[in-house]
Amino acid sequence: MVRPEDTSRVGGPRHYLMCRPTHFAVEYAINPWMDPAVGVDRARAIRQWEGLRELYRSLGHRVSEIEPIEGLPDMVFAANGALVVEGRVYGARFAGAERTPEGPAYLDWFRQAGYTEIKEPKHVNEGEGDFITLDDVILAGTGFRTEAAAHQEAERLLDRPVVTLQLIDPRFYHLDTALFALSGDRVAYYPGAFSEGSRRVLRALYPDALLATEEDAAVLGLNAVCDGENVVIAAEAEALADRLRALGYTVHPVELDELRKAGGGAKCCTLELRDTPLD
Ligand code: ARG
């Protein structure tokens, strides 16, 4: 049994799934941020991640946790684990062998948590990393990880229109590194991450979008989490934070630079569970 929640509501508690970076490391390079020669301070990564989790709780959000698995150093990036809309779970199928076992691990979590509408994906997709759910549409990235065929698969399963956006800058290899939702019908994004055609689509859909700069994007400032009122954002994205404050948002800067060594920020660590099984 699931209880539908309205994603468009402003504020209000959210339910997030997170994975403690117990086994975090940079052992391979599958995006330009990752350099296995650069050391990772895992204890510091854990402290930063705990800070993010406690911030969510202090904002009134509920945080569930999935057990981290040894040998899966990127599992902390829970956003990639699935896409959940109205209680339906579209599983992830990772592009590279390094993260492939995470797909079934996240699906197991959903089964155990009592979700019943679960779809094992046919096509490569990296969950909420490449799908951003708004009121009327789901925006979906392709170009580096998620295949466009997965966009259609998600559209059929979730019964919502999915808009394909072409990512062109390898630094912004997941949609959630280039765009975030401020509400159910408002977004912030870095135009340079998208093809000319996709920029046109975004302009048509969101004429009032907040356009971020390359500097904002280069510190993963677009990898932010907004509940409609509060924006949780990389501490280094100061200019973007100021603009968000000017628009009336309450900004919560978070230090996650240890996790950024793997190419992830606040949003990457956070999978939104839209609908909570009754417990
Ligand atoms: N190292 C991870 C990868 O390349 C980082 C994932 C970041 N997640 C995200 N939702 N953008 O897959």
Residue 8 within any structural domain of the chain: no
End-to-end alpha carbon distance in the chain = 9
- The pTM of the full predicted model, rounded to 2 decimals, is 0.95
State the pLDDT at residue 1: 32
pLDDT tens per residue across span 17-63: 999 999 999 999 999 999 999 999 999 999 999 999 999 999 999 99
Residue 159 within any structural domain of the chain: yes
Q: Is the dihedral of CA 3, 4, 10, 15 positive or negative?
A: positive
- Read off the CATH number of the domain in which 252 is found: 3.75.10.10
pLDDT tens per residue across span 201-239: 999 999 999 999 999 999 999 999 999 999 999 999 999
Per the residue annotation, which of 19, 226, 268, 269 is the catalytic one? 268
What's the pLDDT band for 134 if we cut at 50, 70, 90?
A: very high
| Full domain range(s) for residue 215 | 15-272
Residue 278 within any structural domain of the chain: no
Residue 209's nearest CA partner among 57, 219, 218, 193 is 193
Classify the complex by whether its ipTM is higher than 0.90, answering yes or no.
yes
Is residue 10 over pLDDT 80? no
Residue 152 within any structural domain of the chain: yes
Count the domains in the chain. 1
Residue 2 within any structural domain of the chain: no
Return the biggest CA–CA distance within the chain.
47
Measured in Å, residue 264 CA sits from the centre of ligand 1 at 5
What's the pLDDT band for 275 if we cut at 50, 70, 90?
A: confident
Atom of ligand 1 nearest to the CA of 267: 10
Residue 279 within any structural domain of the chain: no
Assess whether 252 carries a catalytic annotation: no
Residue 6 within any structural domain of the chain: no
SS3 107: helix
Residue that is written with structure tokens 């390079």 in the block: 29
Assess whether 123 carries a catalytic annotation: no
Residue 168 within any structural domain of the chain: yes
Beta strands in the chain (DSSP E): 2-3, 15-18, 62-65, 82-85, 88-91, 118-119, 131-133, 138-142, 162-166, 179-183, 186-189, 210-211, 225-226, 230-234, 250-254, 271-272, 276-277
Give the gyration radius of the chain's Cα atoms: 17
Atom of ligand 1 nearest to the CA of 99: 12
